[in-house]
Amino acid sequence: MERPYLETLYEMARYLNEAEDLPTILDTVVNHLPKVLDAKYCSLFTRNPSSGDLEIKAHNHIDIGQDPFISVGSQRDSIMNLALTRNSSLIIKDIEEEIGLQNKEKYSTKSFMCILIRQKEKVLGILNLADKAAGGFTKDDMLIASMICDLLGAFLARIDYRAL
């Protein structure tokens, strides 16, 4: 990975430092991290402690509106549930070949990355990134996204994020 991403990552860190509330922090992550990693889409889901379902808290997808309630049940076929089942973050180069899921029409590539948001071993949520140009996501991309998710996990564990 070339070094110019560091300036974009630093800009994101400055915005996070200035954020005054959780929605602003989450919006900063989903709007800036794709710029750092040269991806098009990003969404952040937290895990409902009662049901275990994943509920969307922030996204940069224009086509799903400003205030959607999107929940992914644990029985549904999804990359997020695969990551939860494996208890591991995932990099997918080709969603159709590697996972067997149909790629949605809105995506121009089949690359996808799903990063677990944890506090110690407890999974609090998942960050998704999609549509990475130029060959798909790399281990460096995963490392950067994982650092952000580790910080989010530490933060989310200290607050009541369910009220969002």
Nearest-angstrom CA–CA distance, 114 and 90: 5
In the structure, what pLDDT confidence band is assigned to residue 78 with cuts at 50, 70 and 90?
confident
Determine contact, residues 40/34, Cβ cutoff 8 Å: yes
Domains annotated on the chain, with CATH: 5-163 (3.30.450.40)
| 143 Cβ contact list (under 8 Å, min separation 6) | none
CA 47 vs. chain centroid, Å, equals 13
> What are the pLDDT digits (tens) for 103-138?
677 677 778 899 999 999 999 999 999 988 778 899
Among residues 125, 133, 129, the alpha carbon closest in space to that of 154 is found at: 125
Radius of gyration (C-alpha) of the chain in whole angstroms: 15
Predicted TM-score of the model (pTM): 0.84
Tokens of 163: 């009220």
